[in-house]
Structure formats: structure tokens, C-alpha cells
Amino acid sequence: MKCPRVAAARCLANIEQEGSSLSRVLTRVEQDLDPSQRSLYRELCYGTLRFYWKLDAALKPFFSKALKAKDSDVKMLIYVGAYQLFYTRIPPHAAINSSVEGCRTLGKKWASGMANAILRRCQREHDSLFTTLNPAAEAAFPRWLFDSLQSAWPEQLQAIVDASNAHPPFCLRVNALHQSRDSYLNILANADIAATACDFSGSGIRLEHAVSVDSLPGFRDGHASVQDEAAQLCTDLLELSPGLRVLDACAAPGGKTGAILECQPQLAELVALEIDEQRLSRIQDNLDRLQLNATMVCADAVDTDAWWDGKHFDRILLDAPCSATGVIRRNPDIKLNRLATDIAPLVELQATLLDTLWTCLKPEGAFVYATCSLLPAENIEQVSRFLNRHEDAELVPITAKWGVDQGGCRQLFPQINGHDGFFYAKFRKNPDRGY
């Protein structure tokens, strides 16, 4: 297989039919492509997923009958062609012809005429094709998620949609153990890599254009890491100081683990806890590159008997499993894979993690709860329920220039050329109530 359009169709069909994540399928499928074709392949995968629901609503009436599940690759090939027509500068004849030929490459010659007819109609009706879509389809969001965001954030809805459908910025965290942010900005400038300081993180840098990490000066020696600005904000909230014992729960892929150690290398101990062994190995790889050390533990955070030694922590960071609705622009497969029915089980898991890990915190210790979600059920409503269950938990109001206030917590919305969507809450254990 040498066609990036066909590769994209196969990747997207796998995501649609199997519920696979884009990050897992993307690399596996592209192994059959020449390196020169992989950039286009990735653009087609990400772009078609970003606008899938809009393309689906507009193109579905053009199919004389619904395609069978086994022919999802044909449908996706047509959607890839339509994405090229509407959202790229690829010449229309190339977008159409590549989809027609792609049907033959898939071994489905019978679909070539259908692909040709549908895409030529798209070309003819370009200006009017999207005029009658419902608001969710117009936003290229699944209806359940659009309705949830509209209910929760009516004033911010359009900005959320626009940022979620945009290309994400390429952000770095400068390792202060090697040099200051200003020094690294100068190093990047000398390497002809345009970059600016992030607005809220003192270690954050935003590149004007994405680059290979191998082209970043000192990257392999741990001078910088790829991490969104919103995720970098956890270190200030933790109020780290020498000698503290810290737990980074649900730690993979390790960005916050590294940030904590860079911020305060004289901790008594940092425990990185992760349930998945393969993901735990990614944390270790990141720490090796940064030349930093943590206690690595592979276990279910809820099962304290399996991993906790009974010694309480001064600080706990729980970056909880969530809907990831604040990082859709980086993971557009969420639009296909995440369902409304997924939210209640996630909320239940978050509550269980909060309750369990709270018992591991010292009196007067600080606990930071974080998600990359925009849904109140996972965020401020979760916090409210937690405080009602635990009399010894005090909410520490977060005063910051970033995000919007949510009852003392902070909600960040995804920003075009800015940070991702994120939520932070901070608790302190009341020493008067002990354990």
C-alpha cells in the first residue's frame, strides 16, 4: 500500500468500527507508507476526524443506501476526499481521482463510480452543502457532546468549538535544571526555530510551527519536553518544597512527573503510580531522558493494599481518567469513540479515586485534582460531591490569571494558539479532624 489516502481510510475505518484510538492505529498503519507520504497521511486522518460529523451530515444523503460495516473503508475514503475538497488546498481533481482509484486499491472496484459521483456532487454544490445542517453537525460535534457543552457553557460554546476544531499548538516545557526559559528561547532562535513564551506557565514555550523533537536543541539530553501549557500549571498548585513525599497518581505518560521533579529536585520521594505496565515504561523513558528519578509503581490506585506502604504523602496529584473533552483537537477520535453513556462510569471512577487516595494524604497535606475535561459532572460537580463526603477536606481557592473561577476551582477552555481545556481543584486536609 503506497497511497496515503487509502492508508487514512483504513485507519479511520478501524477507529469507527473497532473503537480504536487514533494514536494506536496511526503509527501501525503508516508503516506501509514511504516517509515522504506520512505527513499527508496524518493530516488526512486528523482533519477528517475533526470534521467527521459535519461531513457525515452533509454526505450521508448522497449515498443511495447505507454501506455495510465491512465497507466502512469505502465510506471513509469518500470522507477523506471530501475533507480535501472542503478544507485543504489539494486540487479538486486530485482529491476526487485519488478516492476513485483508492476504491480499486481497496479491492472494491464496485465503489469507484459511487465515490466519483458523490465527490463530484460535493464539488458542484460546494457553497450550499452545509447550509441546512443542525447546530451540532455545523460545529462538527456529536449531538450529545454539543448539547452538553451548550448547556454548561453557552457563552463560551463557539470559542470551544472553534478551538477544538483547530490545529493544536506545539508547546514545550523548559527544564529549569538546565537553563531558563529565556535562555532556551535564544537557543531556539539561533536554530531558526520561531517560538514565544507561554502566557501563564513560567516554563512554557509555544513554537510557531511544529517540528520533529530531534530538531529541538538539547531535547535528547532533557533540556525540554513536549507538554501543553495547561498541564504545566500543576506544579505551582502543589506548592513543592524540599523533603516532601509526593504521589503522582495515574501518572502516564509522565509529563507531570517530570515537571514536578524539575520544579523541586530535592523531594524526599516522588511515587509515580500507573495501572498499565506499558504506559509506566513510557514514564521511565521520559525520566531517563530527563536524567531524573522517581519510584515507579505499577498498580491500580484504588487497590491500596497492592501498592501503598502506609506512609502518608505530603502532596498528591490526581490527574484523573476523564472524557478528555478539553483536548479533542489533539485527539479528534474522541468525537467518534466517546459516548454519552461513558460519562457516568468515568464520574464514578473519579469519585472512587478521590476517596481512596484521600486516605493516603497527611494532615495539612495538599491534594490537587485535575482533568482535561470540560464537563461539569467530572469537574465542579465532582468536587462538590467530594466535599460533601469528606468533612476533613477543605477547598483551597485557586486565584490565578488563567481560566475562569468555578467556585474556587479553575476551568480552562481550549484556546486557539493557546492552552488546552483543563480543570483544577485543590484541597487541604483539615488537621483538626486527623484521619
User: Annotated catalytic sites, by residue?
Assistant: 372
Tell me the C-alpha distance between 354 and 295, whole Å.
21
- Alpha-helical runs (H) found in 169-309: 181-190, 229-232, 234-238, 255-263, 277-290, 304-307
Rounded to an integer, what distance in angstroms lies between the CA atom of residue 303 and that of residue 45? Answer: 38
Distance of alpha carbon 15 from alpha carbon 9, whole angstroms:
10
Residue 10 CA from chain centroid, whole number = 22
CB 224 within 8 A of CB 195: no
Does residue 253 have a cis bond before it (omega within 30 degrees)? yes
Q: Which residues of 251-287 are buried (b: 16+ CB within 10 A; e: fewer)?
A: bbebbbbbbbbbbbeebeebbbbbbeeeebeebbebb
Strand segments (E) across 114-231: 170-174, 195-197, 204-207, 224-226
Nearest to 426 by CA among 414, 410, 403, 405: 410
Closest residue by Cα to residue 375 from 123, 222, 173, 152 = 152
Angle between helices 157-164 and 143-152 (to 10 degrees): 140
Helix (H, G, I), strand (E, B) or coil at 9: helix
Q: How far apart are CA 59 and CA 144, in angstroms?
A: 20
Question: Taking CA 414 as the corner, what is the angle to CA 409 and CA 415, rounded to the nearest 5 degrees?
Answer: 120
Rounded to 5°, the CA angle 371-337-412 comes to: 25
Query: How far is residue 91's CA from residue 406's CA, in Å, rounded to a whole number?
Result: 47
* β strands within 330-388, DSSP E: 361-371
Cα–Cα dist 227/85, whole Å: 33
Q: Could you give the angle at the alpha carbon of 331 between the alpha carbons of 195 and 401, nearest 5°?
A: 50
3-state class of 325 per DSSP? Answer: coil
Amino acid letter for position 264 = Q
